[in-house]
Structure 1
């Protein structure tokens, strides 16, 4: 059998992780689609979080992110506050319910990651993380591709 290409391997691991997380979240009866989970994560972890910054980070249209954020607002998971640095935007913060939801999502992610890495050593996991980070920086970092 021929070994899979790097491209195929990356697509497979990303797809398997996303699919398993979607199913795990569904099985846990959490009422959030994937995009909402990613947006809530951004609100919880991004310093000075705004809709524009989330749209850039997620590489999505700002209008789409605004709709997702409005859903999170309606669900009572986030709130908005005036941005003292830019009156045209608002800073986003998790509510206590949003923080509790994020803790539950983190537990589910840990379960998925535990299953995903169950036959790997800690050294293998750390090596994978370093390689994945390096590849990401090669594509997204400030360095030109040939440096």
Structure 2
């Protein structure tokens, strides 16, 4: 069954959400782009975290992730340490400066979620979360035809 309106609604939601996040992050006047913020979030949530972990989560090419990480190290938001499990790679960790940014971003995320969930019940939010996870899982599966 095809429902173009549902796709339009999803595109609209994603667009408005991304625009809101981008505008809020820009107001922080950071020397980095929203994609860098995403990388900091990934690194903070996964420990230990390597560049290949970031590549996997973002589903971006290694060269692009390498450039993002290089900028974050240069700006002092993350640091690299030797990986005790694999001498060929390094562990990525957020610094105090990176953690301060994460605190600011959490405030932004909470405010946007509060605004977005206004007049939406917990039951509706739970249902949406289940459906969104199913839709994402279905899209992520390799086409078996």
Runs (4+) of structure 1 moved beyond 6 Å? none
Cα distance per residue 1:95-136 (max 9 Å; x no partner): 111111111111101111111111211221121111111222
Match of 2:113 in 1: 113
SS at match of 2:134: helix
User: Does the CA-based 8 Å contact 1:82-1:89 persist in structure 2?
Assistant: yes
Q: Which consecutive residues of structure 2, in runs of 5 or more, have no partner in the other structure?
A: none
Q: TM-score, with normalisation over the residues of structure 1?
A: 0.88
How many residues are aligned here?
Answer: 143
Alpha-carbon distance between aligned partners in 1 of 2:47 and 2:122, rounded to the nearest angstrom = 30
In the aligned structure 2, how far is the partner of 1:97 from the partner of 1:10?
34
- How far residue 84 of structure 1 moved from its aligned partner, in angstroms, is 1.7
Q: 1:137 to 1:4 in 2, by over 3 A?
A: closer
RMSD (Å), alpha carbons:
2.0
Query: C-alpha distance in 2, partners of 1:26/1:34?
Result: 8
User: Which SS does the other structure have where 2:30 is aligned?
Assistant: coil
**Could you tell me how far 1:4 is from its partner in structure 2?**
5.8
Counterpart check, 1:133 vs 2:118: no
